[in-house]
């Protein structure tokens, strides 16, 4: 049971209203819960204020419900390559609480992690809910108090210190405050950008949020037709006004609005900047390890073995699994009822060309509602990264998605929450 003031007798509830807590944490998401545990383990009196009816609503949907909790790259230099320009700010906090510490932390809570493809780490049960449950249990064990349904509406300052937080029910005081209200992705989970507004009002510089690790919207009907199909070895090349910009190889997931999957999510930030510069298209190479000549030979062989079948019937043998219907659509101008022995050389070359260069027309990035990571947040140079302390208010600590750190998908968002949450909790 998460504890709320509603469960307390009236006199106790009002006593808590007047109490000066050691630490008040605003926001009970991944980083807020971590901060709560680390402060509470040190014997501090901790109050977490969470506006939802339960903590960790976003944590519960991470990794499609499996929770990609971190990435098992133990070389900190290599690990930090996934945070773009922000990496230079992160050596210091990661030397205090890094990937190995995350493994030990969850193992200590009785939830060992397993490592899967691309070193992505998950709880061994592959359930995000279990991550939430072990953290909630630890908060209870250490005596942290959680007040649910409690929205912070203002943070009060005086003489370079935070003196109180205002909720709809009243004003609460602490020696230190940890702001852990998250960013703006999937706002239905509670992250509606309140923290950015508080920080701006307090005089911090906040880079405006833009979706960065996010699916891509495309206009092509054949893509929509493949909704739910995922192809693990594809090469996609992005073009700006017809000129090649960059290519990536990996897994692509087709959805009813466009493209998703790790490869796409990690390209989105760059695609977003291309969209601002002009017309963006992409071409997908469905057989990146086979050159045009070898692919054509393979098709000739398949045609020879199926001489009297129609092109429509043979499509499934020459296209990646599950995509024949989409190719029927793309090849629309060709007569698919033609027997393959009558397919002209010109048409055969057209098919090969399409398999190597499937055109995709990009219309947009999906918005905050579908973003995994949203860029933007408080400038790192305004934070002491050894303590996560604001350089303007020494009793204010800032964690997780509130930080202006560009990051890849694959466990890097949550690792940042574990690292910054732990450090804020220990220092608050
Ligand atoms: C669909 C999806 C899947 C993801 N999957 C992964 C993954 O597998 N691996 C990974 O590393 N990262 C993943 N991420 C990113 C990761 O979930 C976030 O980086 C992480 O949850 C951020 O934690 P946080 O503590 O900063 O904020 P949040 O988890 O957003 O928590 C903020 C909390 O603050 C509360 N709050 C907000 N305003 C107030 C207020 N005014 N008063 C009181 N409470 C308030 C909110 O209700 C919320 O509970 C995913 C994100 C999404 C959207």
Give tens-digit pLDDT for 22-38: 999 999 999 999 999 99
Distance of CA 52 to the CA centre of its chain: 20
| 52 ligand 1 Cβ < 6 A | yes
- The pLDDT tens digits for 297-320 are 999 999 999 999 999 999 999 999
- The pLDDT tens digits for 265-300 are 989 988 987 887 788 999 999 999 999 999 999 999
Atom of ligand 1 nearest to the CA of 167: 42
| 212 ligand 1 Cβ < 6 A | no
Helix axes 30-41, 128-142, angle to 10 degrees: 30
Q: Does the pLDDT of residue 337 top 90, yes or no?
A: yes
Kind of pairing between the strands at 206-213 and 373-378:
antiparallel
| 408 ligand 1 Cβ < 6 A | no
pLDDT band at 8 (very low <50, low <70, confident <90, very high): very low
Label each residue of 235-297 as H, E or C: EEEEEECCEEEEEEEEEEEECCCEEECHHHHCCHHHHHHHHHHCCEEEEEECCCCCCHHHHHH
- The Å distance, Cα 270 to ligand 1 centre, comes to 23
- The Å distance, Cα 65 to ligand 1 centre, comes to 14
Which mutation among 58, 69, 147, 405 tests ligand 1's pocket best, with the greatest number of atoms within 8 A of CB?
Answer: 58
Atom of ligand 1 nearest to the CA of 63: 8
């Amino acid at each position: 049971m998460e504890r709320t003031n509603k469960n307390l007798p009236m006199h106790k509830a009002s006593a808590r209203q007047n109490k000066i807590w050691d630490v008040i944490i605003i926001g009970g998401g991944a980083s807020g819960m971590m901060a709560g545990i680390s402060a509470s383990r040190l014997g501090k009196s901790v109050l977490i204020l969470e506006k939802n009816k339960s903590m960790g609503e976003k944590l519960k949907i991470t990794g499609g419900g499996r929770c990609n909790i971190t990435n098992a790259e133990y070389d900190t230099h290599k690990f930090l390559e996934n945070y773009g320009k922000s990496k230079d700010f992160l050596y210091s906090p990661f030397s205090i609480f890094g990937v190995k510490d995350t493994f030990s932390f969850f193992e200590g809570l009785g939830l060992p992690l397993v490592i899967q493809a691309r070193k992505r780490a998950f709880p061994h049960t592959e359930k995000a809910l279990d991550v939430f449950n072990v953290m909630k249990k630890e908060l209870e064990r250490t005596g942290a108090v959680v007040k649910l349904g409690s929205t912070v509406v203002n943070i009060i300052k005086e003489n370079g210190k935070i003196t109180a937080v205002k909720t709809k029910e009243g004003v609460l005081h602490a020696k230190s405050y940890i702001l852990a209200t998250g960013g703006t992705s999937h706002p239905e989970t509670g992250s509606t950008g309140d923290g950015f507004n508080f920080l701006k009002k307090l005089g911090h510089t906040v880079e405006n949020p833009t979706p960065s690790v996010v699916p891509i919207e495309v206009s092509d009907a054949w893509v929509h037709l493949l909704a739910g199909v995922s192809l693990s070895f594809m090469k996609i090349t992005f073009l700006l006004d017809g000129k090649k910009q960059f290519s990536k190889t990996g897994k692509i997931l087709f959805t009813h609005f466009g493209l998703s999957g790790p490869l796409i999510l990690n390209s989105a930030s760059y695609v977003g900047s291309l969209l601002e510069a002009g017309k963006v298209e992409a071409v997908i190479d469905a057989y990146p390890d086979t050159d045009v000549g070898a692919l054509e030979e393979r098709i000739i062989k398949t045609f020879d073995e199926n001489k009297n079948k129609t092109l429509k019937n043979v499509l499934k043998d020459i296209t990646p699994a599950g995509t024949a219907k989409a190719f029927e659509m793309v090849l629309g101008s060709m007569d698919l009822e033609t027997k393959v022995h009558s397919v002209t050389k010109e048409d055969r070359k057209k098919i090969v060309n399409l398999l190597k260069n499937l055109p995709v027309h990009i219309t947009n990035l999906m918005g905050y509602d579908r973003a995994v990571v949203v860029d933007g947040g408080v400038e790192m140079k305004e934070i002491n990264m050894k303590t996560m302390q604001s350089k303007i208010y020494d009793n204010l600590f800032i964690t997780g998605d509130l930080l202006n750190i560009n990051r890849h998908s694959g466990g890097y968002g949550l690792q940042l929450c574990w690292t910054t949450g732990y450090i804020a909790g220990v220092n608050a």
